[in-house]
Amino acid sequence: MTIEYDLHSHSVASDGTLTPAGLVQQAHAAGVQVLALTDHDTTDGISAASVTADELGLQLVPGVEVSVSWQSMTVHILGLNIDPHCAALQTGLQRLQGVRDWRAMEIGRRLDKAGIPGAFDGASALTRGRIVSRTHFARFLVEQGHAQSLREVFKRYLVPGKPGYVSGEWAGLEEGLDWIRQAGGLAVIAHPARYRMTASKLRRLIGEFRELGGAGIEVVSGSHTRDNITSMAALARTGNLLASRGSDYHGPENPWVKLGHMAELPAGCTPVWESEAWPAH
């Protein structure tokens, strides 16, 4: 019997649209048996998610998706099986939340200059937790009719070179990995094929990540194509890293990404849940 793992998902604690309880209910209904809640830079949803998971008999993996700056790029590192009560982790996440607050004001200011007033207040009003993300700005801009879809609004306003893009000073790679290690978690590079890095740069990131104690990379992701999966599986094998699998689900509004029901990890990968450091062992 194979177990359905989904090791990457979001709730309203960051930029998802389901409450932690609602997310766990949906995952259970979709046949997911092991779900990681990995909100951006916060663990606020974990206790509520755990309560519902216990009621339904689903295994909830406490997680977080840490924003990291590496060589002038933003990289997302998942911490899986973290202890949310770890002080070093929480101090670090609080700092990133502060960067997010500052960045949100700056995004609002720049959009205002570009002729779109009220975006800071509008995006803030759409948050349901501590985290304000570009996704909240994107939803506000779509609501206001500045674009038809989130995809379009990101492309026109919220990516490097566009009026509402502000780069944040996130955690250093070493620092982010240290918080995850101190919290007893395993570190996994999220959606490695999404960074628009050259192959050599991505190999450099993976090499450095492994040197610093990183455990694995997400081979199967909701945002990876079949070709991405094949090449990320090869990178995991040659880089001697474990392989993870997660949907990066943000809610039912995006019909392209479902909880669970992803491709299997390709043969030759070692799943992160078979690692010695995974709690079931």
| Amino acid, single-letter form, for residue 40 | H
The listed partner (ligand AMP, Mn ion, none) that binds 134, CB under 5 to 8 Å by sort, is ligand AMP
The listed partner (Mn ion, ligand AMP, none) that binds 19, CB under 5 to 8 Å by sort, is none
Tokens of residue 73, six digits: 């790029």
Contact region for ligand AMP (CB under 6 A) — 147-155, 180-188, 238-246, 273-281? 147-155
Nearer to ligand AMP, 53 or 150 (CB): 150
134 contributes a contact to ligand AMP by CB under 6 A: yes
The single-letter DSSP state of residue 193 is G
- Binding ligand AMP (rule: CB under 6 A), the pick from 50, 133, 221, 247 is 133
224 contributes a contact to ligand AMP by CB under 6 A: no
Tokens of residue 42, six digits: 């916060």
Which phi and psi angles does 80 have, rounded to 5°? -110, 140
List 34's β-bridge partners, or say none.
Answer: 5, 59
- Binding ligand AMP (rule: CB under 6 A), the pick from 8, 11, 15, 19 is 15
Nearer to Mn ion, 42 or 50 (CB): 42
Largest CA distance in the chain: 57
- Binding ligand AMP (rule: CB under 6 A), the pick from 154, 157, 179, 273 is 154
Number of H helices, E strands in the chain: 9, 7
Contact letters for ligand AMP, residues 24-63 (x by CB under 6 A): ----------------x-----------------------
CB 40 within 8 A of CB 276: no
In the complex, minimum distance from the CB of residue 40 to ligand AMP, in angstroms, rounded to a whole number = 5
Nearer to ligand AMP, 47 or 149 (CB): 149
Which phi and psi angles does 219 have, rounded to 5°? -85, -50
- Binding ligand AMP (rule: CB under 6 A), the pick from 85, 113, 151, 196 is 151
Q: Hey, CA dihedral for 259, 261, 263, 265, is it positive or negative?
A: positive
Residue 57: CB atoms within 10 Å: 8
